[in-house]
Structure 1
Amino acid sequence: MRINIWTATFALMAFSAVFGAQRAEWNTIAEPFVSPAHAQEIDWAKVDETLGRKAAVSGDVHRYGFGRSDLSVTLDGVTIKPAFALGGWIAFKPAHGGVMAMGDLVLLESEVNPVMAKMIASGLQITAVHNHLLRASPATFYMHVAGHGDAVKLASAIHDALAESKTPLRVTPSTTPPPAVDLDTAQLDQIIGVKGQANGGVYQFGVPRRDPITDGGVPLVPAGPMGVATGINFQPTGNGKAAITGDFVMTGEEVNPVIMALRSNGIEVTALHSHMIDEQPRLFFMHFWANDDAIKLAKGLRAALDKTASTKS
């Protein structure tokens, strides 16, 4: 009888341990999905103050732009507007009781290592460093970063790291109206299949994927502000022509069909790489460039989008 009692006791203890572990694991997995409850606890005004600018807010994501308006970059005779290919950013999304931070910073070659050293010292992750363009003068590089924790502390770490570069850390509101986008934007909308928007003299599209994307278990929504929508930018270059750049967001099996679609339509592929480390599904990002008739280029981009699981209105 005593043996049966001890056996039952140990069985109960084992069950409790397993159940407790499963419950703890469930709590860990479930925690990212209660992020809206944490959003009200974040002092967003303090984050704005620390980063020296107001956020663009989409859903529960606060995105901060760090455009390199201090740089004069040219490519194949085109002077690149900041919104076209020099628009660094950091996005904060409530998750795990704090925030998830991810972003893409635009740096000169001489700025990469000082900024990286400061980021690492502050506990931030570097998830990619690469080019987006070819033949640009001066050459620019793009550092993808990630972190998790207190929003104000993360903002302070990012601010201090960017202080190692010449990235403008305070935004002065412009009194000059943005230049008009001299393109048939209605026709571009129809061809690309989503509604674009003008930003700083550039016409921009964000085309989300149909499949859900997560990073560390956190759904990356909205896709555009979190950097996981295909981005397409048109910068007018006169007489109905435009320079185009941006990046396609693709799974592995889509990479080469997109390359072939772009190249067969006169669009140069300038970079292929990852941006993140823990995303699901595994994603690849392809950057491109051309300067030609805007409508012709839009049709080429649509042909490439058709090779991906992208949304279309």
Structure 2
Amino acid sequence: MRAVQMLATCGVALTIATAANAQEVDWKKVDATLGKTAAVSGEVHRYGFPRSDLQVTVDGVAIRPALALGGWAAFMPMRGEAMVMGDLVLLETEINPVMAKLLEGGIEITAVHNHLLRANPETFYMHIGGHGDPVKMAEVIRSALALSKTPFNPPAAAPIPAPAIDLDTAQLDQIIGAKGTVNGGVYQFNVPRRDPITESGMTVPTAMGSANAINFQPTGGGKAAITGDFVIIGDEVNPMIKTLRANAIEVTAIHSHMLTEQPRLFFVHFWANDDALKLAKGVRAALEKTAVAKS
């Protein structure tokens, strides 16, 4: 009984400490530094840096930012400071100046690679991480992205509204086994893994990039271009890519995004443009090769 009471007391103390950490961060200053309002999910404050300035095509499909050009940085309170993780979308000529500024400011580079094949212009993805004062880290990220053409200011003219999702989203939800959301003309799924993922002793929430991300962009006639990434462990890699290829879904990259996560993870990126329901069944078959959370 005494042990139970001690555990309960520790649990309350941990909850209070976590809440205190969240309160210690002045999120309004982080918002002001980045010039954006965060999307808040639990303790995670996530900021989007979509490359709306780029006109990227793959196999003749114009890529919407929400499909594959949505850079971001997410902050979470950590032991009185904050942890940051992110994914910055860059052109080849932007990689070195942005990297130099990030490293100079103490932000770690955890990966640089492609997500797509045959993208025109070619795009690259710089994954970042760090721990420290969230305002200072935001300043570094902002100054680094200023060396790219990543937009921060609102467009001079009102943006053209995204078209309606011309897909059977109820059927997609049923096949994938999760509820999708609409974002910028793209239907998106985030399917978490069954077991927790940790980095530096902290659980990495789905809002910080630990979930399977599956995006459908309508291309007309019930078809969709799909891309995203599956978050899997080593033993799942080859069964998954065989399943994707058997379902006419191209594997475009296999790599890591983090450095010291547990368990060791690999991110499998994919692409196809075909009947949306057919592709959803292929995606579902691939998910079944992994340890995903039950919906």
Q: Same fold (TM over 0.5)?
A: yes
Listed one character per residue, the Cα deviations across residues 137-165 of structure 1 (whole Å, up to 9, x for unaligned) are 00000000011111111100000000010
Q: 2:245 matched to which residue of 1?
A: 263
* Identity %, equivalent residues: 69
The match for 2:232 is 250
CA contact 1:52–1:171 (8 Å) conserved in 2: no
Question: Is the 2:176–2:283 Cα contact (8 Å) retained in structure 1?
Answer: yes
Q: In structure 1, what is the equivalent of residue 53 of structure 2?
A: 70
- AA of the residue aligned to 2:225: A
The match for 1:3 is: none
Within-5 A mapping of 1:139-150: 139-150=122-133
Whether contact under 8 Å (2:58, 2:119) holds in the other structure is yes
1:203 aligns with 2:213: no
Residue 31 (structure 1) shift: 8.4
Alignment of 1:214-225 (within 5 A): 214-221=198-205, 223=206, 225=207
- AA at the equivalent of 2:161: P
Deviates more, 1:294-303 or 1:30-39: 30-39
CA contact 2:186–2:216 (8 Å) conserved in 1? yes
Q: Report the structure number with the largest CA radius of gyration.
A: 1
The structure 2 residue matched to 1:212, chosen from 193, 196, 203, is: 196
Distance in structure 1 (CA, Å) of the matches to 2:255 and 2:158: 35
CA–CA separation in structure 2 for the residues paired with 1:79 and 1:175: 16
Give 1:202's aligned amino acid: V
Distance 1:109 1:175, change over 3 A: closer
One of 159, 165, 169 as aligned partner of 1:181: 165
What is the rounded CA distance, in whole Å, between the counterparts of 2:16 and 2:198 in structure 1?
11
TM-score using structure 2 length? 0.93
| Deviates further, 167-176 or 63-72 | 167-176
Alpha-carbon separation, structure 2, partners of 1:231 and 1:37 = 31
Is the Cα–Cα contact under 8 Å of residues 191 and 212 in structure 2 kept in the other structure?
Answer: yes
Q: Which residue in 2 is equivalent to 1:279?
A: 261
Give the secondary-structure state (helix, strand or coil) at the position aligned to 1:177. coil
**Structure 1 residues without counterparts, runs of 5 or longer:** 1-29
* Contact kept in structure 1, 2:255 and 2:266, CA below 8 Å: yes
Secondary structure of the equivalent of 2:37? coil
> Do structure 1's residue 97 and structure 2's residue 80 form an aligned pair?
yes
Indicate the residue corresponding to 1:292 in structure 2. 274
Give aligned pairs, total: 283
| Stretch of structure 1 that moved more, 294-303 or 165-174 | 165-174
For 1:175 and 1:156, locate their aligned partners in 2 and report how far apart those are by CA, in whole Å: 27
Task: Report the aligned-residue RMSD.
Answer: 1.7
Name the aligned partner's letter for residue 120 of structure 1.
L
Partner in structure 2 of residue 55 of structure 1: 38
Task: Note the C-alpha offset of 1:175.
Answer: 5.8
Seen in structure 2, the aligned counterparts of structure 1 residues 256 and 247 have a Cα distance that, compared at 3 Å, is same
